[in-house]
């Protein structure tokens, strides 16, 4: 049996539900991080939060969005410190919400240049990270911090982040597309859905059975993280042709 979160106030339970609702409802042209990051920071009772997307082609973190962290801090990370970061690669390997102290003990961290010249300069002391993956493809992350005079993060915070991560992944996939592109047949079906065709219409136009149409639709929804036909149609319309591969 999975552990359950008990240390949530009524307001926090409502906030949690609101965050999940927005992640499920947001369309493919919205960067969901901008919409929910501030509330996530509040739900985690934290002081700072930064989120980066992973640019697989360049092998680096990019597209930062920050809460209560100034632009100079973010610039220094993207330009220098991400290449001299002793802990993020280890945190990423965990594939679940992880405290900074779980991969680098506090004495070692506080002796590092990364802490003294970067984190501590802006008051970041207690940290917890979660990385968003679509299968083996790294998409994005949440890096959440508290100041030195605040309590350390605990199991409650790990459970909350792990509960939110699948919904965040689905929302990000709707914007970026999944690691696997659509086949030619799946693209044909996606375009017909966007034109308002029913499953029966698609089967007749493509000369395939109704069960085959629905199998393709299930695969499209799974690959792209859509929960209904309206989301698929909106993505096709936004892209102008087909869902991003």
Query: What's residue 26's pLDDT?
Result: 76
Are residues 144 and 80 in contact, defined by beta-carbon separation less than 8 angstroms? no
In this structure, are residues 185 and 228 in contact, taking their beta carbons and an 8 Å threshold? Answer: no
Look at residue 174 in the predicted model and tell me its pLDDT: 76
Residue 170 neighbours by CB distance under 10 Å: 20
Residue 178: what pLDDT? 41
In the prediction, which pLDDT does 240 show? 54
Give domain status of residue 1, yes or no: no
Domain that holds residue 229: 184-239
Q: What is the pLDDT of residue 176?
A: 65
**pLDDT for residue 184:** 74
Mark whether 192 and 151 lie in a shared domain: no
Q: In this structure, what are the phi and psi dihedrals at residue 182, rounded to the nearest 5 degrees?
A: -80, 150
Give the SS3 label for residue 195: coil
Report the alpha-carbon distance of residue 23 to residue 14 in Å, rounded: 14
pLDDT of res. 40 = 98
Q: Based on the domain organization, do 190 and 171 belong to the same domain?
A: no
Is 92 in the same domain as 150? Answer: yes
- Residues constituting the chain: 245
Does one domain contain both 163 and 190? no
Angle 210-224/184-194 helices, nearest 10 degrees?
90
Counting the structural domains of the chain, the total is 2
The reported pTM is 0.74
User: Residue ranges of the chain with pLDDT lower than 70?
Assistant: 1-6, 27-29, 176-181, 238-245
């Amino acid at each position: 049996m999975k552990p359950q979160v008990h240390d949530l106030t009524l307001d926090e339970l409502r906030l949690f539900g609101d965050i999940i609702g927005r992640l499920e409802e947001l369309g493919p042209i919205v960067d969901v991080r901008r919409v929910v990051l501030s509330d996530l920071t509040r739900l985690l009772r934290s002081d700072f939060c930064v989120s980066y997307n992973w640019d697989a082609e360049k092998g680096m973190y990019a597209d930062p969005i920050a809460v209560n962290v100034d632009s100079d801090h973010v610039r220094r990370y993207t330009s220098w410190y991400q290449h001299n970061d002793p802990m993020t690669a280890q945190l990423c390997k965990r594939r679940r919400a992880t405290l900074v102290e779980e991969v680098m003990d506090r004495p070692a961290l506080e002796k590092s240049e990364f802490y003294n010249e970067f984190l501590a300069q802006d008051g970041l002391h207690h940290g917890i990270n979660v990385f968003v993956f679509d299968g083996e493809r790294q998409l994005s992350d949440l890096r959440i911090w508290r100041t030195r005079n605040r309590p350390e993060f605990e199991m409650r915070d790990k459970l909350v982040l792990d509960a939110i991560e699948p919904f965040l992944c689905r929302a990000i996939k709707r914007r970026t597309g999944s690691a696997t592109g659509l086949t030619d047949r799946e693209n044909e079906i996606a375009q017909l859905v966007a034109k308002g065709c029913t499953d029966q219409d698609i089967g007749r136009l493509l000369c395939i059975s109704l069960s085959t149409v629905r199998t393709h639709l299930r695969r499209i929804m799974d690959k792209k993280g859509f929960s209904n036909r309206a989301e698929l149609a909106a993505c096709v319309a936004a892209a102008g042709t087909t869902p991003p591969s």
